[in-house]
Structure 1
Amino acid sequence: MKVSNTERFLNYAILIVFSLIVLAPMLTILVSAFAPPSASAAREGGPFHPGNFIDAWQEGRFGQYMTTSVIVAVIVVTLTVVLSVLSGYAFGTMSFRGEQVLFYVFLLGIMVPAEAIVVPLFFDLRSLGLTDTIWAVALPQVAQSVAFGTYWMRTYFKGVNRSVLDAARMDGASPKRILWSILVPMGRPAITTMVVLVFMWTWNEFLIPLVMSPTGAVRTAPLGLAFFQGQYTQGTALLAAGAVLVALPVVVLYFILQRHFIKGMLEGAVKE
């Protein structure tokens, strides 16, 4: 179908307008991060202050908080990917008794918000002696992410051409070999998309680290940013610098994996 120049112009104009709407707050924060932290700093050092990032890093103890966030994210992403691939493979390629009921149980993890279960979950973990530990912050997020990951990987495995599976079985490949040697390499875009989404959700999680670590022994980067705002400074420059530091890992990961991420999203959009 041929697109007229007017229609093409309108399409680009609408996309540019919406892009500016989305990017304007980000650019505002980025500009504020380099702004002078005070009037005296503006007179002495000019309008450009990259040292805000160093000051925010040191005063806000973001090194400690981001290390905790990285550990939690690695645990959550690793366990989620492995468990989701296994469960998605079972639901997507096998038939067994109670398959539909069990799959709907997994979907409950997507439909039930964390706010509805975080209080009883806290008491359960406290009875096990896990509160104020990395596991108390990571394991609830693993459970939530596996629910989505199972649904995501089941969709991918159901969309695989059955002739590929039949040919592998005829060659004598075991289910384990079919999964790890054939389907997983083929599903790299879908798995990469899941990795990016789960990492982003885990990194930005605020409620679970707040509740599961009442003493603040395990404090992640977003939680540390909130305490930095109230405890250390009210200056917008240092707060903006801290916000940029917290958001940077997600942005870097997306730019590294954006080709696979977009491919996985497009593949998921055309499947049932």
Structure 2
Amino acid sequence: MTKRWSPTHMMRYALLLALIVYTLLPLISMLTTALAPEGSVPRGLEWPSDPQWGNFRLAWREADLLPLLLSSSLIVLAVVPVSLVLASFAGYAFAFLRIPGRRVLYVGFLAGLALPLEALITPLYYQARSLGTFESRWAIILPLIGLFMSFGVFWMTNQFKSLTPELQQAAQLDGASQWQIFRHVHLPLVRSGLSVLGILYFLWTWNQFLLALVLVSDPHHRTMAGALGTFQSQYGTNIVLLCAAALIVMIPSLLIYLVFQRQFINAILQGGLK
């Protein structure tokens, strides 16, 4: 038996194949269900004899997804850039600046990783009402920026700490300011890690369900994923349209990952090597 087909390699290929099937099986099941005749109750993974591609058009119209697409885009454009900037600044500060009490502050950010969103939804509800952001997109945007900071600061701090300190020392000897060192020396070197963080922020924002459902009652001001709650309450028994609408909501996330998968994988591998 060649080395390529040794028991160890066969076990690895079998595990990889099992993971692929485990990942794709729900998507295939949703697709076959979405293509079944409207109003029917599909069973199993049987491919329909007459695929109803018009179900996607019907789900788009019935769920009124165009305003939701615009609303989700506005929320993403407000959350992702601001979160990336704040996480970059904070990560650089924790990695290189001598801030009084920075260890305590850093532990405070890490503690935020242990807080589940479900435990914060009630305080966020009353806070949104007191701030006057309730029933607006700001009720989703502002909490998401705050909630993303824990992971973003942790991620960017480790990205900056992986750089050699000699780079900063050389830049300081050349007379560069702290801002110039951050902007022209360190930030370009962590661009791959920043790209991964941006992809994660996009996916988390686009797929945000709970905040949109609790803090905003107008479906047109929610994310597309949050609007599925309203659509489910109206078409909960119509499994076909529900699966079609869910697949439409998932398309942007899949496209983003397919387009940026190389950067995502490279950043993960670079982090492992460092």
- TM-score w.r.t. the length of structure 2 is 0.90
Say if 2:267 is the partner of 1:264.
yes
Say if 2:36 is the partner of 1:35.
yes
1:11 corresponding residue in structure 2 = 12
Say if 2:141 is the partner of 1:138.
yes
The one-letter code of the counterpart of 1:106 is: F
- Residue 81 of structure 1 and its aligned partner are, at CA, apart by 0.2
The one-letter code of the counterpart of 2:260 is: L
The 1:233/1:98 distance shift into structure 2, 3 A limit, reads closer
Root-mean-square deviation (CA, aligned residues, Å) is 2.0
Counterpart among 164, 178, 198 of residue 167 in structure 2: 164
- Residue 170 of structure 1 and its aligned partner are, at CA, apart by 1.6
- Residue 229 of structure 1 and its aligned partner are, at CA, apart by 2.0
What residue ranges of structure 1 are gaps of 5+ in the alignment?
40-44
1:1-272 equivalence runs, <5 A: 3=3, 5-6=5-6, 7-38=8-39, 47-214=50-217, 216=219, 218-232=221-235, 234-271=237-274
Partner SS state of residue 163, structure 2: coil
- Residue 46 of structure 1 and its aligned partner are, at CA, apart by 6.2
Partner SS state of residue 5, structure 1: coil
2:43 corresponding residue in structure 1 = none
Which shifted more, 248-257 or 25-34? Answer: 25-34
Map Cα deviations across residues 208-254 of structure 1 (whole Å, 9 max, x no partner): 11221145562221121122122146322211110111111111111
Cα distance in structure 1, aligned partners of 2:72 and 2:260: 20
What residue ranges of structure 2 are gaps of 5+ in the alignment?
41-47
How many residue pairs match? The answer is 265
Cα distance in structure 2, aligned partners of 1:83 and 1:220: 23
- Residue 29 of structure 1 and its aligned partner are, at CA, apart by 0.9
Cα distance in structure 2, aligned partners of 1:233 and 1:211: 19
The 1:129/1:115 distance shift into structure 2, 3 A limit, reads same
Conservation of the 8 A alpha-carbon contact between 1:125 and 1:131: yes
The one-letter code of the counterpart of 1:5 is: W
Cα distance in structure 1, aligned partners of 2:230 and 2:27: 21
Conservation of the 8 A alpha-carbon contact between 1:68 and 1:220: yes
The 1:3/1:149 distance shift into structure 2, 3 A limit, reads farther
Cα distance in structure 2, aligned partners of 1:87 and 1:135: 23
Cα distance in structure 2, aligned partners of 1:201 and 1:92: 26
Conservation of the 8 A alpha-carbon contact between 1:59 and 1:232: no
Conservation of the 8 A alpha-carbon contact between 2:37 and 2:240: yes
The 1:238/1:253 distance shift into structure 2, 3 A limit, reads same
Cα distance in structure 2, aligned partners of 1:216 and 1:20: 34
Cα distance in structure 2, aligned partners of 1:172 and 1:257: 37
Partner SS state of residue 175, structure 2: coil
Conservation of the 8 A alpha-carbon contact between 1:60 and 1:228: yes
The one-letter code of the counterpart of 2:11 is: L
- Residue 94 of structure 1 and its aligned partner are, at CA, apart by 1.6
Conservation of the 8 A alpha-carbon contact between 2:84 and 2:198: yes
The one-letter code of the counterpart of 1:258 is: Q
Partner SS state of residue 221, structure 2: coil
The one-letter code of the counterpart of 1:35 is: A
- Residue 172 of structure 1 and its aligned partner are, at CA, apart by 1.6
